[in-house]
Structure 1
Amino acid sequence: MSQAHPYTTLISAVNLQQNAQQANWVIVDCRHDLADPAAGRAAYDAGHIPQARFAHLDRDLSGPTHTADGTFKGRHPLPAPDALLATLRKWGINDDTQVIAYDAHGGMYAARLWWLLRSLGHASVAVLDGGLATWLAAGQTLSAVEPTPAIGNISLKPALVASVDAHDVLSNLTNLRRTLVDARAPDRFRGENETIDPVGGHIPGAKNRFFRDNLQADGRFKPGHQLHEEFSELISEPQTAVMQCGSGVTACHNLLALEIAGLHGAALYPGSWSEWCSDPSRPIATGA
């Protein structure tokens, strides 16, 4: 691979193995468990792809949950750009670095890092298709050694992605300019079996696309043409679509799937349902 043709969506385990030793490649382990926030680090310590850094969803890939005046911004707000840049530099990421993110959860956390790097204008970032399982299935080994990279120099560039806030989503309830797509499981979308957020349901008018529907049975992403066909049944213009979920994490999985499908320009609502339902003045819907 030359830097003229970076990996910008997915990479196979074979291609990662062939390139992993390149000096300008950085691999990041994004494993996490919402019910046990320490589990990802424990799994990393037990064994990770050699030279991989570890990204903690709560500490590295999210910002403070409340503003200075105490307003709740959702369970996983976006980190401030300066804080995110400092984290990425700590991992040794430069402006010309090819970043590879992986997890063991179908890409649900790796896609968050993919989107965050694109929010800083960094295009050379891809998700390991099929995650850690495909690396191991390809006969590759793991390491328990944590690397100590030199500080990187990644800088802020014009964003390659867009985002909206709760005010934009509230306004959309009347002007209907955007199509909202919720990445949560169908039962949570309907307002059933809600165990994470204090209120069940969804934003009125939202459509449901469970992020796991982007994957094949083997855990790899469906082909681009299939994703294009399936998402085209939900959204007419990707530039007017907004992806959301519970806290702005698995929505990035849908955004990655859209990019694979060639449907560019959809925005992220980072606060998602966790922020939306925290204000009782905002309307909610239940059912299909």
Structure 2
Amino acid sequence: MKNKKNYLALFLVVLFSIFIFTACSKNTKTENVNATEGQEVGEASAISTEELKQNIGKEDWVVVDTRINDAFNGWQLDGVKRGGHIKGATDFAAAWLKVSDPDKEEKLEKILSDKGIIAEKNIVLYDANGNDAKELADYLASKGYKNLYAYNVKEWASDDNLPMESYPNYSMLVPATWINDLIKSNNNGLPYKVFEVSWGEVSEEYNKGHIPSAVHINTDEVEEGPIWNRKSADQLEQFALNNGITTDTTTVLYGSDTMAASRVAVILKYMGVKDVRILNGGYSAWVNAGYNVETTVNKKTPVDAFGTTVPANPNYIVDLPTAKEILADKEKSILVDIRSWDEYIGKTSGYDYITGKGRPSGSKWGHDIMDYKNIDTTMRNADEIIDMWKEWNITTDQRLSFFCGTGWRAAEVLLYADVMGLQNISLYDGGWNEWSSDAQNPIETGEPNNK
């Protein structure tokens, strides 16, 4: 009887041990995105570096960078050893889930579809801050996605043998944190300026709140009607002096409308300012990052000399004669139209002060500016931009000159092309406004017979 009791006790001990072991090893959900291999992350299971290496590039797998756009482009953020993204990854920033837009859900659905982030695939979501991957995983799980995996890119970036990609000139587009650090450090004593750019002597948006130390630039300071081309070299130099800008001044531009800031940025690069930066995503990126704003109206602080002859980079902006040369060189050069489809085919001029409709004969449609932006107005994935161009036989080895109506939309695309590292690129300043004003310039309307 005693032996039976011993056996029964031993059996109960073993049974209890099995229960405890099973409960501890069960695949439960955890809030720790930095989980070690074998744990799970929110709605996603952790995946090892070796497993990721084995599956990246397969048709039934998609790797998604969930960090902010700047990290994908090339910035080293959140302690990552190397900037940029895992080679072969696409992007879907968790920040996009917080964008205020009445059509957000519809837009997010389209983005997921366009990027191949579909429920039938195995989806690896990676971040570096312990939050982004979980947020996107939970969102996708709520939509019925099941095959979700989480990964911390710090491990990948720490191994120099594993491929990562950055845009050659990613530093032209800066995150809000970079501007905040610039201001806090006073650029280590080197000259710098921060400007809010918009049209008008008085900017209501500037007065409501702006980045500390920022000065307002009215776009009328750099362009004038009726064509709205850039001003003369002498006038532009005076503009720079009035605003305290020299060729060696680190110049940061932003606005609620990134096109206005891009317009001035392109002109400054044309003039010869060596270090021109744009806040990626515009003023909302600063506000969403939680940084302080001020309402003090900061005055312009003039300087006496610009430091070089204007323009120091004359080929960055071209005029009508060069635009005609580009159109004539059909094999190696393309005049790329950055207007809406309706403007391109001549359904509308797009402007109340432009009467002509159509496009310069031989120009190709490069898509409207909104097709170059993510839902939070940051720069779109460069691979997707290149794919858009391929539809129209626009390739990155050609000489590309971008134009729109008066230079704003095309200026932003030119900067993105510059960020991507493209060579032999320019802005056709006069654009459709100038081209359509002369009846001698050949014009096409309707859908083109071939691309």
TM-score category (smaller protein): 0.7 to 0.9
Aligned-partner residue type, residue 223 of structure 2: S
Larger CA deviation: 80-89 vs 132-141: 80-89
**Over residues 25-64 of structure 1, what are the superposed CA-to-partner deviations in whole Å (9 max), with x where a residue is unaligned?**
21111124xxxx57x722222322221111112x212145
CA RMSD between the two structures: 2.5
Q: Determine which of 340, 348, 357 is the counterpart of 1:200.
A: 357
Q: Is the 8 Å Cα contact of residues 115 and 161 (structure 1) preserved in structure 2?
A: no
User: What's the counterpart of residue 214 of structure 1?
Assistant: 372
Q: Distance in 2 between matches of 1:168 and 1:161?
A: 10
Q: Distance in 2 between matches of 1:271 and 1:181?
A: 13
**Over residues 129-184 of structure 1, what are the superposed CA-to-partner deviations in whole Å (9 max), with x where a residue is unaligned?**
00001110011232222223532232335317433322333344444352010111
User: What's the counterpart of residue 3 of structure 1?
Assistant: none
Change (3 A) 1:235 1:195: closer
Change (3 A) 1:43 1:89: same
Q: Distance in 2 between matches of 1:25 and 1:7?
A: 19
Q: Determine which of 193, 209, 213 is the counterpart of 1:26.
A: 193
User: What's the counterpart of residue 283 of structure 2?
Assistant: 132
User: What's the counterpart of residue 156 of structure 1?
Assistant: 308
Q: Distance in 1 between matches of 2:300 and 2:439?
A: 46
Aligned-partner residue type, residue 254 of structure 1: V
Mapping of 1:1-288 within 5 angstroms? 9-21=172-184, 22=186, 24-32=191-199, 41-57=203-219, 59-65=220-226, 74=227, 76-105=228-257, 107-152=258-303, 153-157=305-309, 158-159=312-313, 161-176=315-330, 177-196=332-351, 197-209=354-366, 210-231=368-389, 234-238=393-397, 240-288=399-447
How far residue 223 of structure 1 moved from its aligned partner, in angstroms, is: 3.5
Change (3 A) 1:18 1:231: farther
Aligned-partner residue type, residue 166 of structure 1: L
Q: Is the 8 Å Cα contact of residues 118 and 161 (structure 1) preserved in structure 2?
A: no
Q: Distance in 2 between matches of 1:179 and 1:79?
A: 25
Aligned-partner residue type, residue 28 of structure 1: F
**Over residues 106-130 of structure 1, what are the superposed CA-to-partner deviations in whole Å (9 max), with x where a residue is unaligned?**
x211111111111112120011000
Q: Is the 8 Å Cα contact of residues 225 and 261 (structure 1) preserved in structure 2?
A: no
Q: Is the 8 Å Cα contact of residues 7 and 126 (structure 1) preserved in structure 2?
A: no
Q: Is the 8 Å Cα contact of residues 227 and 257 (structure 1) preserved in structure 2?
A: no
**Over residues 44-92 of structure 1, what are the superposed CA-to-partner deviations in whole Å (9 max), with x where a residue is unaligned?**
22322221111112x2121453xxxxxxxx2x21111221222222222
- The structure carrying a bigger strand percent of its residues is 2
TM-score when normalising by structure 2: 0.55
How far residue 205 of structure 1 moved from its aligned partner, in angstroms, is: 1.5
**SS at 1:250's partner residue?**
helix
Q: Distance in 2 between matches of 1:286 and 1:95?
A: 42
Change (3 A) 1:283 1:215: same
**SS at 2:443's partner residue?**
coil
Q: Distance in 1 between matches of 2:248 and 2:325?
A: 39
- Give identity over the alignment, percent: 24
TM-score when normalising by structure 1: 0.83
- Higher relative CO (CA 8 A, sep ≥ 6), structure 1 or 2? 1
Q: Is the 8 Å Cα contact of residues 247 and 308 (structure 2) preserved in structure 1?
A: no
Higher gyration radius (CA): 2
